[in-house]
Amino acid sequence: MARGHDNPSFSDIPDSEKFSNHYIINNENDSEQSSRNAEDENDRDQWGKGIQFTLSCIACCVGLGNVWRFPFIALQNGGGAFVIPYIIMLLLVGRPGYFLEMIMGQFSSRGTIKVYDCAPAMRGVGMGQMVTILAVSTYYSSILAIALRYFFYSFNTVLPWSECKPEWTEPCYSANGIQTNDDESGNITRKSSTELYFLKEVLHARENINDGIGSINWNLFGFLALTWITVCLILMRGVRSSGKAAYITGIVPFIFLFIFLIRALTLPGAFNGIAFFFTPKWEDILKPGVWYAAVTQLFFSLNVFFANIIMYASYNKFSHKIHRDSNIITIIDTGTSLLAGCISFGIIGHLAHELGVDDISKVFQGGPGLVFVTYAETISKFRVLPQVFSVLFFLMLYILGLGSLIAQTSCVITVIRDQFKNVKNWHAAVGYSIFGALCGSLYTTEGGQSVLNLVDHYGTTFVNFLLAVFEIMAFCHIYGVNRICKDVKFMLGFIPGIYWTVCWRVVTPLIMMAIIVYHFIYYENPKDNGAEFPFIAHVVGWCITASGLIWLPLIIIWSISKQNEKTFVDRVKSAFRPTKNWGPLNSSLLLKYQEFLKTN
């Protein structure tokens, strides 16, 4: 494989210029020794091996969004034509953002908040991202709890969702024949046994939030607690233990994905579904909504501008080749989305064939319904070993989600340990796992899915977009692209090419601001199962949004007020200027870096 600086994006600087400065740390042994010194001096963990970082990033990015969100978004936005805007946005937003976050994390060895020592008044961006992570990790764990429940129940002799139950008292059809509770007119719309099982047995779901949230489903809460215990055990020793777990979370799901791809391709009707997936609707490609969907999917899939990548990169050795890793990870993530799309539409094509439905879109559901209803129903119809495939599928789903949840939890632990040096890693892991389980219990109530939809709407998408714009401003316009290029030259021995610098300076921030404008123009209030949320729910939702954004102005005001300069303009400049100790965390590297800046 070609080294990163041989990539065309990096190759517009002659080799003599790339490695001419004697301050550049380009000796591998020196780099490793400096990294070991940094670990000794600052008591900061590092990855045991570079591959652990790569696999952890893959596990973080390749998650539930690839399996259930990408196929649904592609279907809604032009089918095969959606791949074109998705790849364009990947090149203009995804890759530049991913590499940028890797640079800032690895260069500074700082977590989500302290990385903004490069522009201290912007630490509110990191604070806001932490609020978002708190919201996402708690509801994300509840989805994993559902997957874990399906995994254990797949060991039954008969898959429990493959048959209708009389106590459901609703018209129902199953893979084993039709069972109904028709009224005399027979004018009843039946639901599948998998859908009723999901709603009544797993969620104990109420119609909508207007019926209240109800009581906790203790069966589901047990699986939630087990999920947080698993996360806690994996993170007890920080990246030293989570890095080893990455061999499972970053590799095993791909084995399962290829197993299911082979199985899907052997099913009757599968190729009709895959053809439906790749058939482009070219008239949709010029619609602004399609490009908006491409960027939002990038956020969900790559986890870019979400603080996870900064955190993981902060545990790298100072000279780790992140330019190589950023290319590998973004390619793998995109490939996985396409692979998952083929599997999804292959299975859905088979289900449509079994049901005698010509329009494949009629049997397609997005979100949890795709995996817990559509997939579950299709697997239950397998004539050969449905239990085995069900066990493998829900285990794969759980591991996919676990990699993302580990990254989110690691972000919180890193921030805690960055701020409070005396807190041991296992203290933070246990404390946050208990917090996550308690907050996650809200999503195991009878109205938990309604709460999840509310928090997801108000606490993630818009907040993430806005914070992403300010993150780019902080790194690329306040700290500066020129300074970032110098940092990369000192750290890795080359200067990023024009592709990166143009994207960081102009293209990526402009696209992100356009996304914000589009979001405001076409904003719609969230709905709960077709019903309007009550007014108080929207009030709570906007409070969640405010809790993520309020830190930005508060910390800017606080930072300016703490400066000692005489004039207001000078205080503002000082508040946004890097701190005196900004740079590599290792003291010897920091001194070399400061000398390097004097001559560059």
Annotated binding-site residue numbers for Na(+) = 62, 66, 301, 400, 404
Separation CA 424–CA 429 (nearest Å): 9
At residue 532, what are phi and psi to the nearest 5 degrees? -75, 140
At residue 173, what are phi and psi to the nearest 5 degrees? -125, 150
3-class secondary structure, 230: helix
Separation CA 245–CA 265 (nearest Å): 31
Question: How many C-beta atoms lie closer than 10 Å to residue 167's C-beta?
Answer: 8
Which residues define the annotated binding site? Answer: 62, 66, 301, 400, 404
At residue 216, what are phi and psi to the nearest 5 degrees? -75, 135
DSSP, residue by residue, 316-364 = S-TT--HHHHHHHHHHHHHHHHHHHHHHHHHHHHHHHHHHT-S-GGGG-
**Which phi-psi region, left, alpha or beta, contains residue 508 (left: φ > 0; alpha: ψ -120 to 50)?**
alpha
Closest CA to 549 of 247, 230, 157, 130: 130
User: How do strand 531-532 and strand 527-528 relate by DSSP bridges?
Assistant: antiparallel
Closest CA to 154 of 351, 335, 388: 388
Separation CA 333–CA 89 (nearest Å): 14
Radius of gyration of the chain measured on its C-alpha atoms = 25
